[in-house]
Chains A and B, each alone.
Chain A
Amino acid sequence: MNQNSVDVLLVEDNPDDAELMIRELRKNHFSNNLFHVKDGEEALDFIFATGKFSEVRNTLFPPKLVLLDIQMPKLNGIEVLQKIRSDERTRKIPVVILTSSNQDPDIRTCYNLGANSYIVKPVDFDKFTEAIRNIGFYWLLLNMPNTELKGDLP
């Protein structure tokens, strides 16, 4: 997969959740250009084309959507969001926070940091898959992507 033409970057440490989400997105054909990273560090490497992605990635080609879990080992989702939003090159990337936590402080923090959406992953499988389906529809089909992101090509 060309890692410079990723539609969805899924940042999720829980392999079960990741599998369920990928499965749902795949069922709805949103998973062709989906890339899954398992922690915050890896997510930042991918986005900023650093570490193991330095050879294969270019920041000029950001993902169309980042699905970001909050509770992760090493760097958590909030820190990742903070990094994305504080860099001029990446701050316009749509980021949807996906989390099990319905705790108020997290929601507030994420919006303050510029999250585009905040989705609590329901325990109920049907509701969960519905939520994932809706996210896919909305961000990948309905929402008009910011053309500037690619128009900045040198």
Chain B
Amino acid sequence: MHQIIDFFSRIFDSSDWPPRWHCGRWTEFHGWLYIISDLLIWSAYFTIPLVILKYVSKRQDIRFVRLYFLFASFILACGSTHFLDAAAFWFPAYRLNGLMRLITGILSWVTVYYLIRFLPIAFSLKSQTELEIEIEQRKIAEHKVIQLNEHLDKKILERTSEISDYKYALDESSIVAITDSKGVIKHVNTNFCKISKYSREELIGKDHRIINSGYHSKEFIRDLWTTISRGKIWKGELKNKAKDGGTYWVDTTIVPFVSALGIPHQYIAIRSDITNRKKAEEEQALLALIVNSSDDAIISINLESIITSWNRGAGVLFGYSQEEVLGKPVMVLIASERLEEDSRVIGRVAQGEYVKHYETEWIDKSGTAVHISLNASPIRNVEGNIVGSSKIIRNISERKSAEAKIRQSEHLYKTIASSIPGSLICLLDTDYRYILIEGDMLENLGYRKEELLGRKCGDVLSANRFADLIGDFKRVFQGETFNTEVKILEYDLTYRYVPLKDEKGMVYRAMIVAIDVTELKNAQRHINELNVALEQKVVRRTKELAMVNQELEAFTYSVSHDLRAPLRGIIGFAKMLEEDYASKMDREARRITSVITTNTLKMGRLIDDLLAFSRMGRQDIVKSKIDTEALVKDVISELLHHDPNSRIEWDIQDLPSIDGSIDIIRQVWTNLISNAIKYSGKKEQPRIEIGSFVHDGQRVFSIKDNGAGFDNKYKNKLFKVFQRLHRADEFEGSGVGLALVTKIISKHGGKVWAEGEVGIGACFYFSLPGS
């Protein structure tokens, strides 16, 4: 190992050996022979690989390249040993020389291996002679082939020309496409591109469905595919869709190309454009449809007046079916008296004239005359010769009867309008022209229908009258409905203006209805006069009443003054008698004077009550809010003022405030409570309840005592002046108090009533408006 390392580390070291010249005995000649020979070998061995490499690098088809390179390396390595041998005379690098020889040996053996392996192959290559012979044979064969090819080419050319003629013809005449078994387009011709408006590039490789219009049913398309996928030819008419969305009709033949197994591997579709034909067919169908769906009868006859076509409308109108009339003379439809008219029409149409709608009567299957409007026009053939005529016939029976109805109703309205007494109806158009004018008032006003009808208001009315009316005309034509009152001659008239509007709401007519209201007006005037007279009467009566009232007041005054004075005198002088002659009067005399005084006082109270009652009738009610509870308490305390030790048990509930005239409502409470006190005064335990409730929307107050009570059958007498249910020796009283209460409450709009039971007690109620 050490030697090996040493060997390689000193590979170029020559110091271990003397140069070759000094090794042994070399003559100059022998040495240089050796040297020059080695150099010659080296130079030759160096050149050989270069020549080989150059040769190899130029040849493209060289085989055994590795062998060449091995050989070149082996020669080069051999050359190098010779070169090192020559150099050893001066530079004895035996280590390098040894290594070089090892490399040469290895390369030599590798080359031997390759030679052994590839030499048999290399030697199997033809020899030059063999090759030349072979080349000669080949040339002969080639010549034959060329001859054959030429022949074949000629044939192919012939065939190609033939096929391209066919293809040309096909391409020119048809729309051609080839698809694979899945329908992917592999070829299209120019016509296909033209009609589908796609470019070839856009189509190739696409599914054939690109031109599917969707017009045909799924069943139709499925049938197509079923047919061709079984290898059968399909023919039919297809509607396809172009790139721009437009459609076209093609008469289509699809031929499947079938493999040996009978499975189609491609399809060729050959189409021709039938769009125009289809369109024409569609138009024709549409026309037929139109003709057939027309409610008008459309028929045609030939020059011999034989019916040649008969639509549905004709069937409906005349009751004949197509089968019944086709081939029959048209005269079956025409009454004998109309035949002449018809032959005239036929004559005119035969001259090429178009006969406009004229109204006539034909006969239907049942023999009934049918009102029709008919026009006739000539039918020309392709050459322009008249071969018959077509008639369009419209049933106008309904229109006729409608017209008759309109005439009747118009007559009816006119009759109605003209027969309303004291009226006038007219219609104006937008030029203020009289369209209609009816009614008996027309003559009364001094006009005649003939003078006005169809003429403008401005032309027939007086300038003043027209000036009066023009404003109203404008109003009504602006769509307003209104009334006016006019006096013309001795007539009072009410005019009603009514705009007549069309569907768009535009006023196209104005209806003016004038009604004679003279009598009504006169009656109104009469009523007004009566009213004035009545008012005067009322004023007079009021005055009279005021006078009576005044007299009454004067009377009251004198009653109050003059009747009281003597009473005062009686009492006064009786008193004087008592005072001044007391000593001369016995007991009886004093009793008598006291009776005189008592009665006179009673008389005074009576007069006072009567006056208060009478005054109440004339008093005005001035309402204000009354605090009822405070008022009642005040009244009670005032009434008990004279009797502070009263035994009365009071039960006063909540008493709401109420609107009323306080002074006189106070009088009511005073009278009722004092009554309750008075009539319960004889009871062991007098009890008075005062309460309140709402009844019939009114506030009701009640004053209940447990006193003497009264018999219910007399309760209506309670509230009348001077009516009493108790004798004066039982309970004092003037018989005015409750009458006064009634008067006050009724003046307030309320009511008074009472309930009672003898010996048990009484309850008085009064109500006031407002709750």
- In the complex, A91→B564 CA distance in Å? 31
Contact of A124 among B560, B571, B576 (CB under 8 A): B571
Chain B: minimal CB distance from A96 (Å): 17
- In the complex, A70→B558 CA distance in Å? 12
Q: Does A101 contact B604, Cβ atoms closer than 8 Å?
A: no
Q: Does A123 contact B567, Cβ atoms closer than 8 Å?
A: yes
- In the complex, A17→B573 CA distance in Å? 10
Q: Within 8 Å of chain A (Cβ to Cβ): is B308?
A: no
Contact of A14 among B556, B565, B597 (CB under 8 A): B565
Q: Does B560 contact A103, Cβ atoms closer than 8 Å?
A: yes
CB-nearest residue of chain A relative to B619? A104
Q: Within 8 Å of chain A (Cβ to Cβ): is B575?
A: yes
Contacts of B569 in A (CB 8 A): 14, 16-17, 20
Contact of A125 among B556, B562, B568 (CB under 8 A): B568
A101-B572 in contact given A14-B565, A123-B567 (Cβ < 8 Å)? no
- In the complex, A138→B767 CA distance in Å? 46
Q: Does A125 contact B575, Cβ atoms closer than 8 Å?
A: yes
A17-B568 in contact given A23-B576, A123-B600, A123-B604 (Cβ < 8 Å)? yes
- In the complex, A27→B110 CA distance in Å? 196
Q: Within 8 Å of chain A (Cβ to Cβ): is B616?
A: no
Q: Within 8 Å of chain B (Cβ to Cβ): is A102?
A: yes
A113-127 with Cβ < 8 A to chain B: 121-126
- In the complex, A123→B609 CA distance in Å? 14
Chain B: minimal CB distance from A43 (Å): 18
Contacts of B575 in A (CB 8 A): 125-126
Q: Within 8 Å of chain A (Cβ to Cβ): is B753?
A: no
Contacts of B608 in A (CB 8 A): 102
Q: Within 8 Å of chain A (Cβ to Cβ): is B17?
A: no
Q: Does A20 contact B560, Cβ atoms closer than 8 Å?
A: no
CB-nearest residue of chain B relative to A101? B561
Chain B: minimal CB distance from A128 (Å): 6
Q: Does B560 contact A101, Cβ atoms closer than 8 Å?
A: yes
Contact of B572 among A70, A102, A106, A128 (CB under 8 A): A128
Q: Within 8 Å of chain B (Cβ to Cβ): is A100?
A: yes
Q: Which of A20, A121, A124, A128 is the most central at the interface, judged by chain B CB atoms within 10 Å of its CB?
A: A124
- In the complex, A119→B573 CA distance in Å? 21
Q: Within 8 Å of chain A (Cβ to Cβ): is B557?
A: yes
Contacts of B611 in A (CB 8 A): 102
- In the complex, A123→B571 CA distance in Å? 7
Which residues in B have some Cβ–Cβ distance to A below 8 Å? 556-557, 560-562, 564-569, 571-576, 597, 600-601, 603-604, 608, 611
Q: 30 pairs across A/B with beta carbons < 8 Å?
A: A14-B565, A16-B566, A16-B568, A17-B565, A17-B572, A20-B568, A20-B573, A20-B576, A23-B576, A70-B561, A100-B560, A100-B564, A100-B565, A100-B568, A102-B608, A102-B611, A103-B556, A103-B557, A121-B564, A121-B565, A123-B564, A123-B568, A123-B571, A123-B601, A123-B604, A124-B571, A125-B571, A125-B572, A125-B597, A126-B575
